Amino acid sequence: MSGKTNLQDGDGRVSRVIRVGTRKSQLARIQTDSIVEKLKGLHPDVNFEIVAMSTTGDKILDTALSKIGEKSLFTKELENALEKNEVDLVVHSLKDLPTVLPVGFTIGAVLKRENPHDAVVLHPKNKGKRLDALVNKSVIGTSSLRRAAQLKKRFPHLEFKDIRGNLNTRLKKLDEKDDFSAIVLAAAGLRRMGWENRISQILGPEDCMYAVGQGALAVEVRARDRDILEMVSVLNDSDTVLSCIAERAFLKHLEGGCSVPVAVYTEVKNSQVYMTGAVFSLDGSDSLKETMQTSISSDNQTEEQEKVDEKVQRVGITALKVSGAAQDAAVKLGVDLGNLLLSKGAKEILTVARQLNDAR
C-alpha cells in the first residue's frame, strides 16, 4: 500500500509518508488540515501529504443535490483514489457518506462533533432579524429537502429556493444579489471557516432537526489496512461515534438518503443515548416524529456483551477503542426507532416525497 512509501531526509533518516485525500474546497481543506495536525502531533515521525481533488458534487452546480440521485456525490473520486492506493485515508463530512460503503472501505474515525444544528445567514439588508420577522414571501436559499420541509411548515410565510455551491459561493450569491433574503447552512461549516459572525440564528430542534451525521468529521480508510485503522482510531470521540451509529442505522433502516426529508436530534447524557427521528413530506404538512433511548453504560453489560467485537463494521464505521456492546446498542436504537416510524406510516410519506421530488 502507498502508506508504506518512505522518504529519506538530509540526515539519511527514513520517514513514512501517508497521503491524505480531501475535496478541494476551502472548508474541506480546513477540516483536513485540522485532522492532519492532530495526527502529526501523535506521529511526529510520519510525513503527511495532502492530496486535494474535485468530486462530482463539486462539479455539478446547476442541479439540486436531491435531483442528481447519486449516493456518493462528494465521495466517489476520493474513494477511487483510496482504492488505487493513491491515498491512504480520506477526510469527509460524515453526512456526505452513505450508510453502506463500497466493499473494502470503512470509516476508521469519527471525531468530536461540532455544533450539529443549522444556522440562518441573512442578506445584509435584513441584518439583526430572525426568520419569523422576515417579510411575507421572502425567499430562503437551501438545497436541502430536509431543511425546506421543516421550515415550510414552521414558517409558512416564507418561500424556499435551491442554492448550490460551496460555502464561499453560496455566501457570495446571498450578499451580491437580491435573490435571497437569507440562506440556511450547517453551523459547523460556518464555525470551522471562522464565519460565526455571519450566523444570525441557530435553529434548534423545534425549528429544524439536523441531518444524520451533521457536524461530525469522518476518516475513511481501506478496511484491510489495520495499521492505518489503528493510527486513526485514537481520533474517535465515543459519544459522537455512538450518536452517529444510531443515526446512520435509523437512516439505513428507513432507506433514506438526500432525496427524502429525514431528520434527527441526538443527545448522550448519563450513559444514555436519546434520539429523536423524523420523516416529512416535501412541504412539511405530513410528518412523523418519535423519540427513543438506550443505555450505553458498561455497568449493566453481561459477560457475553463484553466479548462483542469492536473491530466489526457497523453502518460503515469501525470504531476501535469504543465499546462494541455500546455500538450494538446504538445500532439497535436506530433500527428500533426506524421500525417505530415505519409502523406509523413513514414508508408512505417517504415514497410520496421521493416520487414528487423525482417529478419536480
Give me the active site residues, please: 96
The DSSP symbol for 213 reads T
* 199 residue type, one letter: I
Burial code (b: 16+ CB inside 10 Å, e: under 16) for 9-25 equals: eeeeeeebebbbbbbeb
- Enter the C-alpha cell of residue 339: 421500525
Burial code (b: 16+ CB inside 10 Å, e: under 16) for 121-133 equals: bbbeebeebebee
CA separation for the pair 103, 124 (Å, rounded) = 47
CA-based diameter of the chain, in Å? 70
CA separation for the pair 204, 93 (Å, rounded) = 21
Contact 235, 111 (CB under 8 A): yes
